[in-house]
Amino acid sequence: MTSHAQLPEPTARIVAVQDDLVTLAPLDDAPLIKNEVVYIIPHGPERDGKPREYLKAEVLRVRGSTAEAQVFESTAGVRVGDRVIQSGEMLSVALGPGLLSTVFDGLQNPLADIAAEYGFFLPRGVLTNALDQNRKWAFEPKVKSRDPVRAGDTLGTVPEGRFEHKIMVPFSLTGNWTVERVREGAFTINEVVATLRNERGETRDLTMVQHWPVRRAIPEKLVRSGQCERLYPNEPLITTLRLIDTFFPIARGGMGCIPGPFGAGKTVLQSLISRFSAVNIVIVVACGERAGEVVETITEFPQQPDPSGHGTLMDRTVIICNTSSMPVAAREASIYTGITLGEYYRQMGYDVLLIADSTSRWAQAMRETSGRLEEIPGEEAFPAYLDSAIKGVYERAGVLRTATGETGSLTMIGTVSPAGGNFEEPVTQSTLGTVKTFLGLSSERAYKRFYPAVDPLLSWSRYHTQLAAWYDKNIGPDWVPRVEEMIDLLKKGDEINRMMQVTGEEGVSTEDFVLQQKALFLDMVYLQQDAFDDVDVSAPLARQQETFDLVYKIARTGFAFDGKDAVRRFFTEQTSLFRNLNYAADGSQDRRDLLEKICENVRSAPRHVPA
C-alpha cells in the first residue's frame, strides 16, 4: 500500500459537488492544472491520526480561480469544505517489472492485492501501489560507466517470466546524459540501479520503475528526437482465424473493430484472437462490460496453456478490469491505461495486442462526464469531440523501430456494442472512419450458429493493398486477386439467394443455382470455424492456404450438372467432407484420405466441355 507520508498537505477545498464532478478552489495561491491528479479527503473518522479515505480525482477544466474535477470513486459523503491534496502529477501509470499476469482496475490498482487485504468488497479511497514493492528482480546492466544515454535507452534487463524486461532511461528525461554508476544484482523496483550525470553536472538516480501520463503517447517525444522511428505496417497479424487472415486481415501494428449486437459472439471472437494471435504480449481492457465475462477471462487464462508452448496465457497477459458495476469515471481512463502499458512493451521491441471491450461503454462514460460539464452535445448527446477522441485512441497503435534497431508493434482491436445492432450510431460510425478493418457481426448469422458470426457482405479490410507485397513474397502473387474473386462470389451468391427467396429455386437457372451453392459452400467450409474443436479452433496460415486452394479450385470449376438436385447432392457431400477435413490434424491418415476423396469427387463431377 502507498504510504500516506508520500502525499503533500491539502492546498485546495471543495466548493461544489455534482454526482462524481466536484468544483475545487485553492486555499492559497496554488495553481490548479488541467489533468492534474488530486485527492479528496472526506469528513469522517481517522485511523492512526490519518484520514481513512483518499478519493482520487482528475482535473478536467480550469475556469478562473476554480477547477472542475472528475472523481474516480463514489462521492457519497463528500461535501463543501472538504480538503483536497494536489499531487502535482498527471494521471499516470507505473511502468516496471511485474505488470504481466496482473489484474488491474482502470486506474492501475492491483485488484488481487486489495482483495487480499480488504476482502472481495473493495473499499473506496484506498491508496495502493501498482507494482510489488518488496519483490526483488535480478538486474543485469547493459551499459557501463561513462556510456552516453538518452531517454528510452536500455540500462539493463530483468527476467519477467519468459520475457526479457528492459529497464529504460525514463521517457520524460531530456537532454544527453552519461552513466556515472550502474549496479548489478537483485533489487526491488524502488532501489537505485544507476546514476546518470549531464553536462551541467546534475545527477539523477534511477530505479526500475518510471511513471508516464496515460493521455500522452510514449513515443511522441522519442520520435521527434530521432530515438525511434514510426514504420508503415506491412505484415498481417496472423490470428489463425480463416475468415480474418484470408478475407479481412488486420496489419501487425494496425487497428480494427468488431461491432455487433448483444449475443453475436464478440466475447468469444476476441478471446480466440487474444489466445492464438502471433504476438508476444496481450492486454485485455474490460471497459464497462458485464462482470461475468471478465470473471470468465480471469479464471480461464491462468488455466489455459499458451499456444506458443511457454506457460499459460496469463503469463503474457495484463488485464485492465473496469466492469459495468465499477465507477463510470474510471472506465473512461481504463483504455488509456491499457494503451500506455502496450506502448511500454512495444518500446522494448515486443509485438503487443490490445483488445478493448467495449469502446461503446467508454464513449458512454465520456458522454456522462461531458453532460455534467454542460458542454455542447453532439449527436445522441455524445460530446462534440467524440470523433477526435476515438481517432486519438486508435492512432496510438502502430509499428516502431527503436534506436537499437529492434521493431515493436501495438495492434489495437476494439469491440463496439451499438444499441440494437445499429451500425449507424455515432460511436460505430466514428470508429469506422478511423480503423482499417471492420468485422461486422450479424445477429442473423449468430442465430444460425455460425461462428464467427462475421458477415462477409458487411465486413471489409483496407489492408489488402497495403499488405500485397508481403502476400506476394510469402504466399504468391495471385493470393489477393483470388481472395477478391471469392468475395465477389459471396456477393453474387447472396443476390441469387435473395432472388430464390422470392421466386423459389424454379425461378433461377441451373447455372445461377450452381453459383449460389458455390457461395454457400465457401461460407460453410471456409468462413466457419469450430471454436470447440482442438484442431479447427486454430488454423495456421499454411493450413489455411491448402484449404483455400481446394475451395478456390472447386469454385472456379465449370460444372455441368444434370439438374439442381445433382448440384445440391454434390455440394452437400463436399461440405461434409471439408468439415471433416477441418477437424483432421495435419499429417494424419484421416486428412490424407479426405483430401484424396475430395479430389476424386471433383475429378469425376461432370464439367462443361470447352468450345
Which of 82, 101, 103 lies closest to 39, judged by CA?
82
> Helices 359-372 and 328-347 sit at what angle, rounded to 10 degrees?
130
CA angle, 369 then 370 then 376, to 5°? 165
> For residues 259 and 438, what is the distance between their CA atoms, to the nearest angstrom?
8
187 DSSP β-pair partners: 137
* DSSP run (H or E) holding 155: strand 154-160
User: What is the grid cell recorded at 453?
Assistant: 458470426
Annotated binding site for ATP: 260-267
Q: Which amino acid is at 417?
A: S
Cell 517489472 belongs to which residue? 97
Rg of the chain (C-alpha set): 28
384 DSSP β-pair partners: none
Say if CB 24 and CB 13 are below 8 A apart.
yes
The DSSP secondary-structure symbol of 312 reads B
CA angle, 140 then 144 then 146, to 5°? 155
> For residues 236 and 543, what is the distance between their CA atoms, to the nearest angstrom?
16
> For residues 470 and 460, what is the distance between their CA atoms, to the nearest angstrom?
19
Annotated binding site: 260-267
> For residues 2 and 235, what is the distance between their CA atoms, to the nearest angstrom?
43
> For residues 97 and 414, what is the distance between their CA atoms, to the nearest angstrom?
26
Instruction: Find the Cα–Cα–Cα–Cα dihedral 102, 105, 108, 110, rounded to 10°.
Output: -50
Cell 530515438 belongs to which residue? 227
Ranges of H-type helices in 87-136: 111-118
Which of 248, 356, 275 lies closest to 537, judged by CA?
275
Phi-psi region of 258 (alpha: psi -120 to 50; beta: other; left: phi over 0): beta
Which of 396, 476, 366, 367 lies closest to 212, judged by CA?
396
